[in-house]
Amino acid sequence: MGKSKVLVVGGTGYIGRRIVKACLAQGHETYVVQRPELGLQIEKLQMLLSFKKQGAHLVEASFSDHQSLVDAVKKVDVVISAISGVHFRTHCITLQLKLVHAIKEAGNVKRFLPSEFGLDPARMGDALEPGRVTFEDKMAVRKAIEEANIPFTYISANLFAGYFAGSLSQMGSFVPPRDKVHLFGDGTLKAVFLDEDDVATYTVKAIDDPRTLNKTLYLRPPENILSQAELIGIWEKLIGKELEKTYIPPEGFLTTLKGLDYKLQVGIGHFYHIFYEGCLTNFEIGEEGEEASKLYPEVNYTRMDEYLKIYV
């Protein structure tokens, strides 16, 4: 069998642009949705044109035009959605319900990967308000996919390094501190950090793999399963300096959270589950899932000591 043709929706976004590049690098005939609503967003247009230069096909389609979505979907075997689910930027997760309807009508798609790429929403039923809305929206999309009998793979990519590793998981910055650092609780609960390019590589490897059909693919490369304290230790070694540490108890974190505006509460509320409950690593992967680094040991994923060197 040849490699699947792939349509990427949200291909100019933070993870989407990496998925487009990974599709091309792995030899897939790649289509990228170009939405007429782009208007005057010149950076996104130029990114789309750069994909075209690299061999991708641009397909005009809009969430406000059902037939255009159906026509786009009919060109491919696999659809990967990477539309934004980050509240402090744009939160568009439920727009995917329109994409699900188009995929169902088209009837030709062998695999759909909705926009998830973070915590597994199926495990977040007890998440704090208002942050739980992220997981509820993703579960609504999953429900629609499964009710439509669309073959799927869900990607649980844990923590993007750009957001959580480069900052040492500090709130309000994406660069590592050089003097003082805050730790959540005692900083010892394990999380999982992924270079975004590796997220894209693992994602695209899964699309033609029968082992990931109708399953969740968890990205847990073993050397990147680290506590916040271990991550800080890596940075301290790189800069040759010990940082002054402040430990934030859970009740202090929750009090601070209540004082933030809604969009920040949604995103930062997830920190509680990650660093005070250890929600990324406090379970074993069952029959419903697979682990990416075991399926694809040939991927030489970026370790966090290597990742952090660019910040020195």
Quick check: helix, strand or coil at residue 57? strand
Cβ neighbors of 264 (< 8 A, separation 6 or more) are: 88
Catalytic positions, written as ranges: 138
Q: How many CB atoms lie within 10 A of CB 286?
A: 7
Q: Which of 309, 154, 302, 261 is nearest to 216 (CA)?
A: 154
* Phi, psi angles (nearest 5°) of residue 128: -65, 150
The structure tokens listed for 134 are 């992220």
- What are the DSSP calls for 148-203, one per residue? TT--BEEEE--EEHHHHTTTTT-TT-SS--SSEEEEETTS-SEEEEE-HHHHHHHH
The structure tokens listed for 94 are 């439920």
